[in-house]
Structure 1
Amino acid sequence: MAISEWQSVVRWAECDAAGIIYHARVFDWFSEGRITWLKNHGLDYYEVLRPQGIELLVKSANAAFHHTLHPGDTVRLSVALETVTPTRAVFHYRVAAPSAPELVAIEGVTEHAFVIGGRARRLDRAAPQILEQWQRSLRVGAC
């Protein structure tokens, strides 16, 4: 899998009253990590995809919380493109636990449909060169 990393520090504003990361904020991290992944793999969302009218519509998003995170904890998010088809892309996310980086604090998956002009479209027909770049990114990261 083609992997990119994104890093931040948990802010108080991202936590609930108990000082634990608020679950909905994790999806913001996934979005930031995904934008980083796209940029690192020649598919910059703001310079390549959106100028061609290509959007990534979230079809599903889920996360599993294994360890709590608190204000001041360093968040190290690994993002991998799991699969890509002419109509969809699936990303996998892992947040390392700050106290034990070998442990996964949070992991998740998002599935996206390719949308052009407000409608779901097949990239192999609408933008074959972009689909080829997605597929190339997946092959480069293959083990």
Structure 2
Amino acid sequence: MNAGPRRRGGPPRRPQSPPKITGPATVPEGGFPLDDATRSELVKFNTYRIAQKALEEVDRAVAKAEAAKDQAAAAVRKLADDANASKEDKAAAEQAYKDALAAVEAARTGKAPAEDAPAEDAPAEEAAVAEDAPPAEDAP
């Protein structure tokens, strides 16, 4: 009745690795040959799976950003009802909510939120440098 030794208490057995998919020209150990049509269909399937995983990652990022937005909105509502809350706290909560909205939009579109502050400072710095520069020697 005993079919063999029973394994108790030890680590679980490792699953065997799947056979490698190879082309018709080479068949390494553990692999099997594929015709061109099968290889083409496998490539299409793998491409689909990669795209599906990317969409799932985007969905997770959007859900996470929306949860952060909801928390920021709750903080804004809480401070709006609090008579003792300072204007700075309310402004910080509103800014956090605006940032969360931008993060949700960025997660949906796949783009990083735009940084407005550095873009505004860069032209002002360039103008200041241009004013400090000495005149060109060719000037009359």
How does the TM-score come out when normalised to structure 2?
0.25
Structure with greater helix percent = 2
Bigger relative contact order (CA 8 A; separation at least 6): 1
Structure with greater strand percent = 1
How does the TM-score come out when normalised to structure 1?
0.25
